[in-house]
Amino acid sequence: MKRFLLPLIAFVALVVFLGVGLHRDPREVPSPLVGKPAPNFSLTQLQAPEKTISPKDMEGKVWLLNVWASWCVACREEHPILLDFSKLGVVPIVGLNYKDGRKEGVDLLQQFGDPYQLSAFDADGRVGIDYGVYGVPETFVIDKRGVIRYKHIGPVTPEVLSDKLIPLIKELNRA
């Protein structure tokens, strides 16, 4: 009887872990960077390669960093939502064009509109790695002191905007 007890306990534990895992949202992956200063970088701007952008340029503002690429299907899904949101002027949106070609990124923004105050060009993905990006799109809310307050994995939807991003942005702007 005892020889069946250990495999039975292991099986029950496995079923419990599987059950818990199936009920979790894969977009709700906790980031170790939330609550920590945003990694610093200095990259050329996508549309103005002679200029650079750094998180230090955004100090004193609550802002979004949206990681995107022209080859990303999900980025194209969220693009019109970001475009409409940017027109509201609630918060500056900075793009991080990730592992893309400069021409392809510029062409996409010219074709579909540009929701970004500006976009940094991360051709080799090194800055994305510093931010813990493992897929695009990903969006970060960064506070006035340069601290990451929220990370959203996947496309921004109207529900994500209204339920998570806008309330957090308003709260951070009051602080």
Predicted TM-score (pTM) of this structure: 0.83
User: What does the pLDDT read at residue 20?
Assistant: 66
User: What does the pLDDT read at residue 80?
Assistant: 98
Blockwise average pLDDT, block size 10, the chain, 175 residues: 69 69 57 91 98 96 98 97 97 98 98 97 97 95 97 96 97 93
Distance (Å, whole) CA 51 – CA 46: 9
User: What does the pLDDT read at residue 11?
Assistant: 72
Residues 6+ apart with CB under 8 A from 171: none
User: What does the pLDDT read at residue 108?
Assistant: 98
Q: Are 143 and 172 in contact (CB under 8 A)?
A: yes
Which domains does the chain carry?
Answer: 35-174 (3.40.30.10)
For 37, list phi and psi in degrees, rounded to 5. -60, 140
Distance (Å, whole) CA 160 – CA 45: 27
User: What does the pLDDT read at residue 17?
Assistant: 66
